[in-house]
Amino acid sequence: MSEDQVSGGNTGYVNPTGEFRRDQRYIETRITADGRDGYPVEPGRYRLVVSRACPWANRAIIVRRLLGLEPVLSMGVCGPTHDERSWTFDLDPGGRDPVLGIERLQEAFFARVPGYDRGITVPAIVDVTTGQVVTNDFPQMTIDLSLEWTRFHRPGAPQLYPEHLREEIDAVNRDVFRDVNNGVYRAGFAGDQQAYQRAHDRLFARLDALSERLEGRRYLVGDTITEADVRLFTTLARFDPVYHGHFKCNRSKLSEMPVLSAYFRDLYQTPGFGDATDVVHIKQHYYVVHRDINPTGIVPAGPDLAGWLEPHGREALGGRPFGDGTPPPPPVGGEVVPDGHRPRAA
């Protein structure tokens, strides 16, 4: 794999030891309440650009919806596949984003940094007034939606990054990113058997540890949904449809790990999670784009995911999904995952 190989919306390369390394050089400009980086929080000024296929973008979609930021932060949705240049707006009429007027996300990056030579990644937030990308720093992006956009949160919005839990959330997120979120990619894009085995073993050791952590508690940190749950959820949602086979993460399916499977079903059935997850786009992306792994581009018909809708029984552990808040309302018009793109009950 060359250094400009696109994987899951992010660039990466295989180093001399056979290990996949993700390029994490993002545009780190922040949109803040005080505008200290030159980009103050303003309703209607920015557009969140995503692909429902990408796990990092899926996080931003979920957080935006849980916090109720739809009226003040519009969202553009790219198609599930892309070429070596960038994500495209092929789902929109004429193949152009109706707000930004561009065909490729690359155009917004080049408007900010001519000849930008790093990954053209989603999620990205674009300044509508200039057409320039502001940031694609996805880990910071969702934190800032929680902390910097509070003035525009919906009534009843949950606290996804509460101050008294931040240290613990950060510690969990570090482990989950290293071994799970990015761990599946390290297994899938490993350049030799030894690198693959290391990544595979580390992934499942962490999943086993998470199972132990979640056996007696409903959520990863505290007794409500937090940023940590959002970050783990988007990888678990792709595990059986993609990572188990496509990335050779096949010691066990998620459905064969009882605690994690029930935890995932609990979140999937929570408003804001399952209704923001598009399985068709997920499968199309990985199996079509990653031709190094799947040369034919054939998208598997399975697996049957009706089990995602089965009872999870985790209410018995207590906890309140939204704390003192309330569930988000249904998705706004134009942002509903299409019929047939989510599992249906058997």
Better-scored residue on pLDDT, 112 or 345: 112
pLDDT (mean) for 335-346: 90
Residue 168's nearest CA partner among 218, 215, 229, 216 is 229
* Domains of the chain by residue range: 5-152, 165-317
pLDDT for 5 equals 41
Give the right CATH number for 165-317 from 1.20.1050.10, 1.10.287.130, 1.10.3720.10, 3.50.50.60: 1.20.1050.10
Percent of the chain topping pLDDT 90: 89
> Candidates 3.40.50.300, 3.30.465.10, 3.40.30.10, 3.40.50.150; correct CATH number of 5-152?
3.40.30.10
Q: Which two tokens stand for residue 32?
A: 């803040």
What residues have CB less than 8 Å from 181, skipping those under 6 apart? Answer: 55, 231, 232, 234, 235
Q: Rounded to whole angstroms, what are the CA distances from 271 to 229, 258, 282, 328?
A: 14, 22, 19, 6
Active site residues: 54, 185
Q: Does 5-152 match 165-317 in CATH topology?
A: no
Task: Give pTM, 2 decimals.
Answer: 0.95
Please write the tens of the pLDDT for every residue from 72-102.
Answer: 999 999 999 998 889 999 999 999 999 999 9
Structure tokens at 329: 């309302």
Question: What span, in angstroms and rounded, lies between the C-alpha atoms of 294 and 142?
Answer: 32
Confirm if 260 and 214 have CB atoms less than 8 A apart: yes
Q: What is the bridge-based pairing of β-strands 132-135 and 46-51?
A: unpaired
Query: CA 223, CA 320: separation in Å to the nearest integer?
Result: 6
Helix (H, G, I), strand (E, B) or coil at 104: strand
Q: How far apart are CA 49 and CA 135, in angstroms?
A: 11
pLDDT, one tens digit per residue, over 236-274 is 999 999 999 999 999 999 999 999 999 999 999 999 999
Two tokens at 40? Answer: 């103050």
**Is residue 133 within 8 Å of 126, Cβ to Cβ?**
yes
Are the C-beta atoms of residues 45 and 127 closer than 8 Å to each other?
A: yes
